[in-house]
Amino acid sequence: MISLETKLFGIKLDCIFNASGPLCTSEEELYNLEKSFSGAVLTKSCTIDPRKGNPEPRYFDTEWGSINSMGLPNLGYQFYSEMASKISNKPYIVSVSGMTPDDNISILEHLNCVDGVSAIELNLSCPNLIGKPQMAYDFKETDDFLYRICKDLRKPLGVKLPPYFDSVHFQKMADILNNYPISFVTCINSIGNGLVIDPHSESVVIKPKSGFGGIGGDFIKPTALANVRMFSKLLNCDISVIGCGGIKSGWDAFEHILCGASAVQIGTQLWKEGIGCFERISNELKLIMEEKGYQFVKDFRGKLKEI
């Protein structure tokens, strides 16, 4: 029997679940994820106070993916903390993206004490907050911040990273993460500050930041695969890598796992297709595994061949 079971932060779960972003903000959306084939329930990145996010239009579908500048619309960390007692059938992961380091510390201190929170994904890579840089591109600030928060960890902690493009930067971030009790990294967030234009109207397609936004979907898969591959090689063996970027089929999920991902997250395709994407992609991945003679995810994880 083909199994998609994997192990993250000490918990067994199916290896395909939602990315923080689409369809994981409200109570109804979180319940829908719990009822779906998603292997876990991951929340929208939360801030101290509820946020409406950036002005609309702030999301646009393209034939190769999407562009967005959502601006972290969410219901505040207290709401996602309270939801922990209501999501009982699957691992419940809270994504955190405070507006300041001190905000993040306050949220983490609270979530560390909440029963029902399986893990925390610290989002250090949102590219769509006006005037707020991505911390994970500042290696010293990231190191200093992780030093502050890792002194009193009581929940498994993961870090969502932006895309890196230079081998030196891969190594710098891996060296930092290897110094701390990080359970997992998620590679990658959207590629920041892309620009999509409608040539017919001669206009940008989203309103915030003069049309600049995060690029997701098919277009970013090669970058995501490269980041998964590099970090799976550079990180300590006890830090899992979660692949995110351009996954809309079983083959896409297979490629991420082949590069070293222990699990994968679905973002743009979830927005486009809805929660039915988890069952479809899971079934497609099982068929691929059956055809190749793999019974478990671990049978091919990280076994990408080089020529």
Cite the active site residues: 126
Eight-state DSSP code of residue 196: -
Which residues lie closer than 8 Å to 201 by C-beta, 6 or more apart? none
Give the span between the Cα atoms of 264 and 280, in whole angstroms.
Answer: 14
Map residue 288 onto helix, strand or coil: helix
For residues 172 and 177, give the distance between their C-alpha atoms in angstroms, rounded to a whole number: 9
Q: d(Cα 144, Cα 78) in Å, to the nearest integer?
A: 26
Alpha helical stretches, state H, the chain = 27-35, 77-82, 101-111, 139-149, 167-177, 221-234, 250-258, 268-273, 276-292
CA distance 246 to 256: 10
